[in-house]
Amino acid sequence: MSESTSVVLPNGRCAPIVGFGTWQASEEELEAAIDNAIEAGYRHIDAAPVYLNEHVIGRVLKKWFDSGKIKREDLFIVTKLPPTGNRPESVEKYLKKSLKDLQLEYLDLYLIHTPFGFVEEGDDLHPKYENGDMKMDMDTDHLAVWAEMEKQVVNGLTKAIGLSNFNSKQIDRVLKAAKVPVSMLQIELHLYFQQKEMVDFCKSRDVPITAFSPLGTRGLVQLLGKNDTLPDCMANPKVLEIAKKHSKTPAQISLKHLIQKGVIVIPKSTNPQRIKDNIQLFGWMLDAEDVAELDNLDQGAKGRICDFSFLPGTNKHPEFPFK
C-alpha cells in the first residue's frame, strides 16, 4: 500500500499521482476548470488533440507562467498522438502541433492515443464516411511509429513516451523492440472495470499505469445511451458505506482505491467543489478490508465503458485492441 503523491517513471522523472482530465469539457468550462485545478494543487494535466481543447489549456498555462506563480518544471503535461497521426511520418508533425497549441517547448509524456489509425484528411481528426463509419488506415505499424516516438525523446520534444488503449499483446510487441522505455500505459480503470490482469502485466514489466475514467465516466455513459445498462459505481452501496466510514465522498474512495495501488488517476471535473475534493486524497488510507471489498466490485469485461463504439468502424481495424 502506498501513500506516494507521485509515480517514478523509467526515466527517473516523477509524475504526480493525481492528474486533471480534460476530455469532454467545452472551451468555456475548461478555461475555468484548469484555473480551479491549478489553484487546488493539480500539477499534472492530461490532454489530447482529439479532445479539441489543447489551445484552451495552452492559453491558461501561459497565463499562469506569465504570472510567475508557476514554472514549466512544476508541471507534468501529457498529450497524445491522435489516430490520424498513427504513422511514422506524421509523429513529429502532430507532436509539434500539440506543443504549439499548448504553448510549450516540451512535453513530459507523449502517448500513442490508440492502437488503430485513421486516414489523414486535412485537419479533420475524426474523418468519417457518409454512413458515419470512421475512415480507417488499416496499415498501422506500431513498431515503426514507436521508433519515431523514440526520436522525439532524443530530440527533446518530450521527456518520455508511452501507450494508451493498447492490449497486452500489442504492448509486449512494442516492449520487445523498444530502445526508449515504454513509460506509461493509459487505460480505462475504475471500480467496475479493474483490469487486474493488465495491471499485473504492466507491474511485472515496470510500465506505470494511468487510469482514465477513474470515476466510471458518467459523461461517456450518457453519450453512449447506456445509463440503464451501466450503473454508476459511485452510487454502489458498498462505496457509499466505505465513504461514510471515512467521511469522504464516493469519488474520493474510488480514486483512493486506485492511487493506493500506485495507479495514477486523471479525474475530469468542471465543478469547482468536485475539482477540489478529487485531489484531497492524502493523509488517510483505506484499510485492507475496504480494499478487499472494493476489489470485489469488479465486473470484469462487462464493466468496460470506453469500447470505441462511439467511433464506428474502429473494430474492423486489424489492431483494434478489444477483440
The one-letter amino acid code at 98 reads S
Within 105-164, the residues that bind ligand A2P by CB under 6 A are none
Among 135, 203, 218, 238, binds ligand A2P (CB under 6 A): 218
- The CA-atom distances, in angstroms, between 263 and each of 26, 148, 161, 258 are 27, 27, 17, 5
- 16: contact with ligand A2P by CB under 6 A: no
- The conformation of residue 18, written as its DSSP 8-state character, comes to B
* Strand 76-81, strand 109-112: pairing: parallel
Nearest to 305 by CA among 246, 237, 230, 208: 230
Among 26, 155, 271, 296, binds ligand A2P (CB under 6 A): 271
Q: Which stretch binds ligand A2P (CB under 6 A): 101-109, 216-224, 283-291, 315-323?
A: 216-224
> How many Cβ atoms from other residues are within 10 Å of residue 198's Cβ?
18
- 21 versus 208: smaller Cβ distance to ligand A2P: 21
Residue 21, classed as helix, strand or coil, is strand
294-300 CB contacts, 8 Å cutoff, 24+ apart: 294/191, 294/238, 294/239, 294/242, 294/253, 294/257, 295/194, 297/191, 297/192, 297/194, 297/233, 297/236, 297/238, 297/239, 298/191, 298/192, 298/193, 298/194, 298/196, 299/192, 299/193, 300/193
Give the active site residues. Answer: 51
State how beta strands 209-212 and 264-265 pair: parallel
From the list 9-17, 60-68, 146-154, 208-216, the region that binds ligand A2P by CB under 6 A is 208-216
Q: Which of 84, 98, 249, 314 binds ligand A2P (CB under 6 A)?
A: 249
Interface residue with ligand A2P, options 84, 158, 269, 314 (CB under 6 A):
269
Cα separation, 301 vs 303, in Å, equals 5
Q: How far is CA 16 from CA 93, 171, 266, in A?
A: 28, 23, 10
Q: Is 48 in the site for ligand A2P (CB under 6 A)?
A: no
Candidates 4-12, 48-56, 146-154, 207-215 — which segment interacts with ligand A2P by CB under 6 A?
207-215
Q: Does the protein bind ligand A2P through residue 262 (CB under 6 A)? A: no
Q: Assess 268 for contact with ligand A2P (CB under 6 A).
A: yes
Residue number with CB closer to ligand A2P (173 or 226): 226
Is 304 one of the binding residues for ligand A2P (CB under 6 A)?
A: no
Residue span binding ligand A2P (CB under 6 A) among the ranges 48-56, 235-243, 264-272, 280-288:
264-272
Q: Nearer to ligand A2P by C-beta: 268 or 304?
A: 268
Nearest CB to ligand A2P, comparing residues 20 and 118: 20
Scanning 98-106, 151-159, 215-223, 315-323 for contacts with ligand A2P by CB under 6 A, the matching segment is 215-223
Question: If DSSP states are collapsed to H, E and C, what string results for 76-100?
Answer: EEEEEECHHHCCHHHHHHHHHHHHH
21 touching ligand A2P, by CB under 6 A: yes
Q: Compare residues 215 and 281 and give the one whose CB is closer to ligand A2P.
A: 215
Question: In the complex, which residues of this chain contact ligand A2P (CB under 6 A)?
Answer: 21, 213-219, 234, 249, 251, 267-271, 274, 277-278
